[in-house]
């Protein structure tokens, strides 16, 4: 089968989905009904001809369902980690005289897919390499995997589930509470893939990139890994981007990837080098931990020396006060950085941070600024005895041997603002017009002390319409939004309360357990 036919189908799916989204969600028309029907018929015809159906094709509807738990399953063959190096010469020596493939090492969640008679029958996470979790229903909602393929034998392949940086940023933009934002695409992807309700997975735009063919009975690949990649592309899979290299071309290839990663949309934490010769690779066997036919290359971090100017203490809605290092600005990986989270007091003490210390900083995975080392180690940072926002007492608490600082004042304004921000956010009560700045003003004026006060802001109409940034129209828009929020689903209400460890997914699971009945939920025992 020609790869060009698969690419044409992917382009048709993309066009049709864009047209449907514009028509049904955005009230605009980017193509006529006749053009849409013609393209739809063309796609349907190509699916019948090739035997391939992509997961996001408009010709199929993936059903949504929730499960109580993800079943576990032992892998047919153990999934080993790769040996790693940061030395480029080690890669050249590894190749020797054997042509190899150099590809991205993607930073997501490794998944094993199994197809029988052309149908996707199973998807399992890597887990601990021996036992993984079965996530078949979730995999069916991945944006780009084929649900049906032309090959009718048993096919087993491995790949990485990822969420792109652009999708990660869009998802985080919709979360107004800073504390609830996701830390990085890998964590978001891992949580999305392992959801108990695949409707949530579907909304996260998870994508799958194949990087290894494990089994395809009866197919001759001419002893070449590259031929296996071509076969997977012919079946409709997106394959990890790779280049063919030799000992003479490996350095130039690495430099090419190095330039590309600056604005590459797929999270990557390095490269993978793999022998093209399948039998030669297998003949090398493996160690207890690593296969000998491949090796991972991790980027050597760009490290800069700078001076620590201060530690800023940043409170959250839970009362946790995070230390943030402020240092003389330095250029790292093409951007200027001047601050890095220290995460907790244990890490701050381990680094022996002191104001004026010479420190080295880098970007973890070329993205997140971190302190690498403290060259001075004066260890003179004073831990604040009072909260920087409310002036209330602070307390150091040790949880799982990690020390963190907390504000213990229940009436701390920072806690209130962050809590109210979560309460009114889009995934919670969805009240437009109450930004953090507005909430801060309303709290300062005494309009809001608890959640219920938001529904009585009309009592303060005269003062609100006179406030800067408000007027009659802004006030009315706010009142309309508050009125709409009186009708809300139970999961959103539970999520809005900011209970520790209860995100929207867990809130939905709790409510489902108690038949979406608030009274049953309130009367439930601790067990």
Known catalytic residues? 105
Rounded Cα distance, 275 and 294, in Å = 6
- Buried-exposed string 379-394: b where 16+ CB fall within 10 A, e elsewhere: eebeeeeebebbebeb
Backbone angles phi, psi at 254, to 5 degrees: -60, -45
Tokens of 500: 């520790």
Q: Are 289 and 81 in contact (CB under 8 A)?
A: yes
Cα–Cα distance measured from residue 150 to residue 140, given in angstroms and rounded to the nearest whole number: 17
**Cα torsion for 365, 370, 374, 380, to the nearest 10°?**
-170
SS3 content of the chain, % helix, strand, coil (to 5): 35, 25, 40
Q: How many helices (H) and strands (E) does the chain have?
A: 18, 20
Give the span between the Cα atoms of 366 and 259, in whole angstroms.
12
Residue 27 CA from chain centroid, whole number: 30
Residue with token string 């999305």 = 192
What is the C-alpha to C-alpha distance for residues 342 and 324, in angstroms, rounded to an integer?
5
SS (H, E, C) 58-121: CCCCCCCCECCCCCEEECCCCCCCCCEECCHHHHHHHHCCCCEEEEEEECCEEEEEEEECCEEE
Whether residue 102 contacts residue 257, with contact meaning beta carbons closer than 8 Å, is answered with yes
SS3 155: strand
């Amino acid at each position: 089968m020609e790869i060009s036919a698969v690419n044409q189908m992917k382009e048709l799916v993309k066009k049709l989905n864009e047209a449907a989204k514009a028509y049904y969600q955005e009230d605009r028309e980017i193509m006529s009904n006749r053009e849409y029907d013609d393209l739809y018929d063309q796609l349907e015809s190509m699916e019948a001809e090739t035997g391939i159906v992509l997961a996001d094709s408009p010709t199929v509807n993936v059903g949504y369902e929730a499960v109580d738990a993800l079943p576990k399953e032992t892998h047919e063959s153990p999934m080993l980690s790769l040996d790693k190096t940061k030395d480029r010469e080690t890669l050249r020596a590894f190749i020797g005289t054997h042509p190899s493939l150099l590809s991205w090492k993607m930073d997501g969640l490794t998944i094993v897919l199994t197809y029988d008679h052309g149908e996707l029958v199973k998807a399992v996470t890597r887990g601990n390499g021996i036992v993984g979790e079965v996530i078949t229903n979730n995999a069916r909602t991945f944006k780009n995997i084929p649900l049906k393929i032309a090959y009718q034998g048993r096919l087993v392949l491995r790949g990485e589930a990822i969420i792109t940086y652009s999708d990660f940023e869009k998802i985080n933009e919709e979360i107004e509470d800073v504390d609830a934002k996701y830390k990085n695409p890998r964590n978001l992807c891992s949580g999305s893939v392992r959801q108990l309700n695949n409707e949530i997975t579907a909304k996260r735009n998870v994508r799958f990139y194949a990087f290894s063919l494990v089994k395809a009975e009866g197919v001759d690949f001419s002893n070449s890994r590259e031929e296996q990649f071509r076969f997977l592309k012919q079946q409709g899979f997106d394959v990890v981007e790779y280049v063919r290299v030799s000992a003479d071309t490996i350095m130039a290839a690495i430099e090419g990837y190095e330039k590309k990663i600056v604005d590459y949309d797929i999270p990557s934490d390095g490269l993978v080098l793999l022998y093209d010769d399948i039998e030669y690779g297998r003949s090398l066997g493996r160690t207890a931990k690593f296969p000998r036919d491949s090796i991972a290359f991790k980027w050597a971090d760009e490290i800069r020396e700078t001076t620590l100017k201060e530690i800023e203490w940043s409170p959250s809605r839970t009362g946790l006060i995070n230390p943030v290092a402020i240092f003389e600005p330095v250029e790292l990986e093409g951007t200027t950085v001047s601050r890095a989270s220290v995460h907790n007091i244990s890490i701050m003490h381990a680094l022996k941070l002191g104001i004026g210390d010479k420190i080295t900083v880098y970007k973890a995975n070329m993205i997140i600024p971190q302190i690498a080392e403290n060259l001075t180690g004066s260890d003179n940072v004073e831990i604040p005895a009072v909260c920087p926002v409310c002036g209330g007492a602070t307390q150091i608490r040790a949880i799982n041997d990690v020390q963190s600082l907390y504000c213990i004042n229940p009436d701390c304004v920072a806690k209130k603002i962050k809590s109210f921000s979560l309460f009114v956010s889009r995934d919670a009560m969805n009240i437009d017009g109450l930004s953090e700045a507005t909430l801060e003003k309303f709290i300062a004026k005494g309009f809001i002390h608890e959640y219920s006060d938001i529904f009585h802001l009309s009592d303060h109409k005269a003062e609100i319409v006179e406030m800067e940034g408000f007027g009659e129209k802004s006030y009315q828009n706010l009142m309309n939004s508050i009125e709409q929020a009186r009708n809300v689903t139970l999961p959103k209400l539970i999520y809005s309360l900011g209970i520790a460890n209860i995100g929207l997914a867990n809130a939905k699971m709790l409510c489902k357990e108690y038949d979406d009945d608030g009274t049953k939920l309130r009367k439930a025992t601790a067990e």
